[in-house]
Each structure stands twice: as structure tokens, then as C-alpha cells.
Amino acid sequence: MTKMLHICVTPRGAKSRTLKITNTFLETFKKRHPECEIDTINLFSEKLPEISLDVTDGKYLLMAGGEISNRLKPAWQEIERHIARFLSADIYLLSCPMWNFSIPYRLKHYIDVIAQPRYLFRYTEHGAEGLAKNKKMLVIASRGGDYSPDSPSRSFDHQEPYLRTVFGFFGITDITFIIAQPTDALGADVMLERITAAQNAAKRLAESL
Ligand SMILES: Cc1cc2nc3c(=O)[nH]c(=O)nc-3n(C[C@H](O)[C@H](O)[C@H](O)COP(=O)(O)O)c2cc1C
């Protein structure tokens, strides 16, 4: 393992439950892999490029087999920089609370930035092919409610299915989730218990890598 991209998707810093679990993971992971470079991108402090007309024009050009024209190059510079940073990692660590049954909007923005044809995926005569191959992703998530398989709210979970779909589309199919839930609905004692359980799972996962 040579490079990890830690994608941090909460604005809550030291208050974040998700980052508490992530920090436990990283403590063990760093000891086991001192050689691994960890690049952290905090999507709440990073300025992401807008998906403008020039950016979408470039996307359709690429999809039609063309190249980014000189006119579109300035708008595409930042898009290509984010794609290169993303693709340079062998392993992704995504720290992501649930927001409104899905992902925080800043992560959706980031996905819209990097999801470009011929960089992250391509269409072939056999269908779509993800181009981010041989990579692994770990998702550490927390949720105020409980969406576990036997809970009545399971069908409200658009976070895990969406992340598996979109990163799977990019070619990243080896995805492990560690989820602390509920962190709000049943009070502070249950929150603490579920965060501790997730921290233990995160430590075990780090020991297995
Ligand atoms: C804007 C916002 C939207 C949220 N939406 C949901 C939701 O749809 N379902 C849920 O179970 N919890 C929701 N929550 C609660 C968080 O998922 C939960 O408190 C989580 O543990 C916060 O993680 P953090 O401390 O790492 O930011 C939401 C919280 C915020 C701030």
C-alpha cells in the first residue's frame, strides 16, 4: 500500500463522531503502514470547481470521443487536478455521516467533479467499464437513526447503496463499511456504545490490512 486518500466529509472537526472512529482506524493503520502516504482532502474546506457549461461541454466532448479543446482547458484544469489526485491513491478512506438519508452535498459535488468519461469510466460495446481498478475503499459512516438490515427504516438508507453504486461504477468494488448507528435517536449512552463498537471494528479492520 503506497498511498491513501482520506476523503473527509463532515464540517464538525473535533465534534465529529465519524472522525472519532476514523482516528481509531488511522492510529492502528499508521503504525502498521508507516510507508503509506496519507493525503487528506476535507470537502468542507476544499474549494471545488463549479460544474459549469464549459465543464459539461468538455464532458460531452469526451463522451463523443473528442478531446478537451483549448477554449475549455481553463475550466478543465481543476477538474483534471482533482481526478489525478483521486486516481493517484491505491486505497480510499471515506469519513461520511448520513445527511438526509444520503450523503452530504459536498461529497456529491466532489463526485460530480471527478466522474468524467475516459478518466473514471468509459463506455464499451459491452457496457460501462470503471477505470479506477485494483483499488480498495473503506467507508466509515455514522447516522443519527438506525438503518441496519432488520430495522424498519432500512429502505431509507440511500447512503450505502449510492456509494456502492457510484464508486462501483468507477471500478472500485472492494468496499468495506463500518457504520455507527443510531448516534442520536436513542440517546447518549447508546451513541457511546455504538461508537465504541465501531471503533473496535475499525481497529480490527486496520489490523487486517
Ligand atoms: C444536515 C444533517 C442532516 C442529517 N440527516 C440525517 C438523516 O437523514 N438520517 C440520520 O439518521 N441522521 C441524520 N443526521 C445525523 C447525523 O448523521 C449523525 O448525527 C452523525 O453521527 C453525525 O456525524 P458527525 O458527527 O461525524 O458529523 C443529520 C445531521 C445533519 C447535520
Q: 12-32, pLDDT tens digit by residue?
A: 999 999 999 999 999 999 999
**pLDDT of 1 above 80:** no
Domains and CATH numbers, the chain: 3-208 (3.40.50.360)
Rounded-to-10 torsion of CA 171, 173, 175, 181: 100
How many angstroms separate the alpha carbon of residue 98 from the centre of ligand 1? 5
pTM of the full structure: 0.97
Strands 127-130 and 37-42: unpaired
Task: Return d(Cα 85, Cα 39) in angstroms, integer.
Answer: 9
Distances (CA, A) of 48 to 36, 44, 83, 85, 183: 26, 9, 12, 13, 29
Pocket of ligand 1 (CB under 6 A): 10, 12, 16-19, 97-101, 142-145, 183-184
How many angstroms separate the alpha carbon of residue 209 from the centre of ligand 1? 29
**pLDDT of 147 above 90:** yes
| pLDDT tens string 158-195 | 999 999 999 999 999 999 999 999 999 999 999 999 99
How many angstroms separate the alpha carbon of residue 51 from the centre of ligand 1? 26
Q: Which residue has the cell 492502528?
A: 28
* The total number of residues written for the chain in this structure: 209
How many angstroms separate the alpha carbon of residue 205 from the centre of ligand 1? 24
Residue identifier of the C-alpha nearest atom 3 of ligand 1? 99
Percent of the chain past pLDDT 90, that is, above it, reads: 100
